[in-house]
């Protein structure tokens, strides 16, 4: 069984229930839905309470950094206590799109890190073209950290390993020219996760189509081949890691 450790179920072209059903038919037994603002964090919390085999995070994406308020942070704190909510995020820094200044993004990031330290929930991190600043901010985190949609090379992997952070690999690791793909064996075995980031970043065999949780099997297959292990071994490894990262029940 595989776990899709990062999906946006409320953004898909199909219903969350249909996406989870087709994922299960493909061997993906659990999905972690990710929040990007207060509204869809609320929806995700409701989804996790209603749909079997779905957990959720609550967070504010850096693309939304300039519009968050103190009341939004209070809402996240309240939602973090909901059944089925297992993490805070995604949150972090994105210097690629540049919707908001680094200072604005860091203010949000630091506030959510403080909230995570208070709630003891893991942090799901979005970091694009901002690795050094992201790691600097995370020096204040006292919780489990998941580096979602990891794009780094040798140096970045080594730093993540040293800090004990989890590394989430999405469909972009299967693309030609992926720097991360060159250094997959350097990732600590007990810190490796697979994800879709659906509806985005469809893995190579599904490029040009909207992504869904079921497609995490292609990313897992690619990673297993690069590591020289069987698909079953890779599935067992990443599923065990996801359960530990998000503190999921052993038989969830």
In a domain, 126, yes or no: yes
- Helices 102-119 and 70-79 meet at what angle, rounded to 10? 30
In a domain, 252, yes or no: no
Instruction: Specify the pairing of strand 166-169 against strand 192-194.
Output: parallel
Distance CA 143, CA 139 (A): 10
Domains in the chain, number: 1
Q: Considering the domain boundaries, does residue 38 fall inside one? A: yes
Can you give the CATH number for the domain in which 156 is found?
3.20.20.140
Show the tokens assigned to 45.
Answer: 């919390």
Domain assignment present for 97: yes
| 251 lies in some domain | no
Give a yes or no: residue 19 inside a domain. yes
For residue 167, tell me if it sits in a domain. Answer: yes
Indicate whether 62 belongs to any domain: yes
Main-chain phi, psi angles of 233, to 5 degrees: -65, -40
- C-alpha 108/C-alpha 105 separation (Å) is 5
Residue carrying structure tokens 């073209």: 129
**Dihedral over alpha carbons 205, 211, 216, 221 (to 10 degrees):** 10
Give the domain extent around 184.
2-246
Q: What is the pLDDT along the chain (252 residues), one digit of tens a residue?
A: 999 999 999 999 999 999 999 999 999 999 999 999 999 999 999 999 999 999 999 999 999 999 999 999 999 999 999 999 999 999 999 999 878 999 999 999 999 999 999 999 999 999 999 999 999 999 999 999 999 999 999 999 999 999 999 999 999 999 999 999 999 999 999 999 999 999 999 999 999 999 999 999 999 999 999 999 999 999 999 999 999 999 998 864
- Phi then psi for residue 169, to 5 deg, are -105, 120
Report how far residue 123's alpha carbon sits from residue 145's, in angstroms, rounded to the nearest whole number: 5
């Amino acid at each position: 069984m595989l776990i899709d450790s990062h999906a946006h179920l409320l953004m898909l072209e199909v219903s969350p229930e249909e996406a989870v059903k087709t994922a299960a038919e493909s061997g993906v037994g659990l999905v972690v839905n990710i929040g990007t603002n207060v509204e869809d964090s609320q929806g995700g919390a409701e989804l996790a309470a209603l749909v079997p085999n779905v957990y959720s995070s609550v967070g504010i994406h850096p693309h939304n950094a300039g519009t968050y308020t103190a009341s939004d942070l209070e809402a996240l704190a309240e939602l973090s206590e909901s059944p089925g909510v297992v993490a805070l995020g995604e949150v972090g820094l994105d210097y690629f799109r540049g919707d908001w200044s680094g200072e604005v993004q860091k203010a949000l990031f630091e506030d959510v890190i403080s909230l995570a330290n208070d709630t003891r929930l893991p942090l799901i991190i979005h970091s694009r073209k901002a690795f050094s600043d992201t790691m600097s901010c995370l020096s204040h985190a006292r919780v489990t950290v998941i580096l979602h949609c990891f794009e780094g090379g040798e140096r970045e992997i080594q730093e993540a390993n040293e800090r004990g952070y989890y590394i989430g690999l999405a469909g972009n690791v299967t693309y030609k020219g992926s720097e991360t793909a060159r250094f997959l064996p350097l990732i600590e075995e007990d810190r490796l996760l697979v994800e879709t980031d659906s509806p985005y970043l469809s893995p190579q065999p599904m490029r040009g189509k909207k992504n869904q949780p079921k497609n995490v099997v292609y990313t897992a297959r690619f990673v297993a081949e690069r590591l020289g292990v069987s698909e079953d071994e890779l599935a067992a490894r990443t599923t065990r890691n996801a359960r530990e990262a998000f503190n999921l029940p052993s038989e969830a």
